[in-house]
């Protein structure tokens, strides 16, 4: 679909963005020359020309906005298909993990049974991997892989074993993402970033072993209990800032920060996980195949457009996560990922206190600052945001007033 839309986009850009305004400007210049040469111009005509010039400027602005919207749509055409494929893979991965009980198999539809053939890379409880890891149970599954609890007999401890599975077996870039995750995670050494142990391969099964964190994800907690009070969210936010600051100092942008990628070990420690699509600071926002990656509910406008990302892109995602944690929902909701992307690019962020009036004003100001569409108006680093928490019992912001929708 992207291959079809891109030529259309450029055609519209050229015709509407260039030819239309150029023609109107040409006619305008011709009439101005007529007036200057004294060919019948009067004050009324001059006024009409000034109005025409004003209309031309306004029309150009409208055309530019339309072109930007088309660009955003072109950059986001992959979201719809990717989201559906990942949901299918997660469902079939979970079905396969249940085992071959006849009653369970009877409930599986023909479509799901067909999709289950994609799970050739799955491992089973009790299976030994690389003559070192004994698989205990499935912890979770995504569109491109699965994570298992395993016993590392060399280290003598439990680890999380991440393998390429599901639709990842059909994606040539999935293995590269796992290798990149190993490479980027090794750059970061911090208590608030999950620790990586080893990367290995056995009989075509590519796996990554990492620190196992006993607890739940922030996504699971929000689903279980709903919105968090500010006092409970504060230590989570502080540790997220510390972990992000360490990643950014190592030259790594996470690019997919979301509640599902934050692990909570009880009420004491926070761990950032899943650097599978992380990139060094010097690289651009798009993948090699010009596909935008990330999670639409938490993506910054520059990431939605496939533009250059930096530490402030993660700051936006953190702001969206804090918004979700305090209000019980992300900043924007829409029926499709494309609509979500457009909302992040164009719509004002609803003030959190419109949803929950008991949210402290200081928290609202902090979150809205992190969610500014212009990166220059956000906090410029995770350390700067962390300092806001450090200097006050309640987070305060002394910069320019944030953009608010009332």
Any idea which residues carry the catalytic annotation?
Answer: 256
Cα(36)–Cα(30) distance, integer angstroms: 10
Angle between helix axes 311-327 and 361-370 (nearest 10 degrees) is 140
Burial per residue of 203-219, b for 16 or more beta-carbon CB atoms within 10 angstroms, e otherwise: eebbbbbbbbbebbbbb
Q: In what order do the strands lie in the sheet with 216-217?
A: 216-217, 262-265, 269-272
162 is in an annotated binding site: yes
Tell me the three-class secondary structure of 113-125, residue by residue: HHHHHHHHHCCCC
- State the sign of the Cα–Cα–Cα–Cα dihedral 381, 343, 219, 183: negative
* Cα–Cα distances in angstroms (integers) from residue 149 to residues 122, 123, 127, 219, 269, in the given order: 13, 11, 12, 19, 19
Two structure tokens written together for 130: 């690389």
Nearest CA among 133, 183, 141 for reference residue 161: 133
Binding-site positions for ATP: 162
């Amino acid at each position: 679909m992207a291959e079809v839309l891109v030529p259309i986009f450029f055609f519209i850009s050229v015709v509407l963005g260039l030819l239309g305004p150029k023609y109107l400007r040409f006619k305008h210049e011709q009439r101005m020359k007529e007036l200057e040469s004294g060919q019948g111009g009067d004050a009324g005509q001059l006024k009409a020309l000034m109005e025409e010039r004003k209309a031309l400027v306004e029309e150009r602005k409208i055309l530019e906005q339309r072109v930007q919207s088309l660009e955003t749509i072109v950059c986001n055409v992959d979201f719809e298909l990717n989201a559906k494929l990942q949901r299918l893979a997660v469902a079939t991965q979970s079905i396969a993990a249940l085992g071959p009980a006849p009653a369970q198999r009877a409930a599986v539809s023909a479509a799901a049974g067909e999709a289950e053939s994609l799970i050739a890379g799955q491992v089973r409880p009790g299976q030994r991997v690389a003559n070192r890891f004994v698989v205990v149970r499935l912890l979770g599954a995504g569109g491109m892989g699965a994570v298992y609890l395993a016993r590392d007999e060399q280290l003598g401890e439990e680890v999380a074993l991440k393998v390429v599975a599901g639709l990842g077996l059909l994606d040539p870039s999935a293995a590269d993402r796992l290798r990149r995750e190993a490479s980027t995670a090794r750059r970061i050494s911090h208590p608030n970033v999950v620790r990586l142990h080893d990367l290995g391969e056995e009989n075509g099964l590519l796996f990554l072993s990492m620190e196992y964190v006993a607890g739940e994800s922030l996504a699971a907690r929000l689903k279980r209990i709903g919105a968090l009070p500010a006092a409970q969210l504060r230590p989570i936010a502080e540790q997220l800032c510390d972990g992000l600051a360490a990643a950014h100092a190592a030259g790594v942008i996470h690019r997919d920060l979301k509640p599902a990628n934050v692990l909570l070990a009880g009420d004491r420690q926070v761990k950032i996980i899943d650097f599978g699509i992380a990139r060094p600071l010097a690289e651009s926002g798009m993948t090699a195949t010009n596909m935008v990656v990330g999670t639409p509910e938490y993506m910054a406008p520059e990431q939605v457009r496939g533009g250059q990302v930096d530490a402030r892109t993660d700051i936006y995602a953190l702001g969206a996560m804090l918004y979700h944690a305090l209000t019980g929902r992300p900043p924007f909701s829409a029926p499709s990922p494309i609509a979500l992307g457009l909302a992040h690019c164009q719509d004002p962020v609803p003030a959190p206190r419109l949803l929950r009036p008991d949210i402290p004003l200081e928290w609202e100001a902090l979150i809205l600052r992190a969610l500014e569409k212009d990166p220059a108006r956000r906090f410029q680093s995770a350390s700067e945001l962390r300092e806001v928490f450090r200097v006050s019992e309640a987070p305060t912001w002394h910069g320019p007033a944030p953009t608010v929708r009332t």
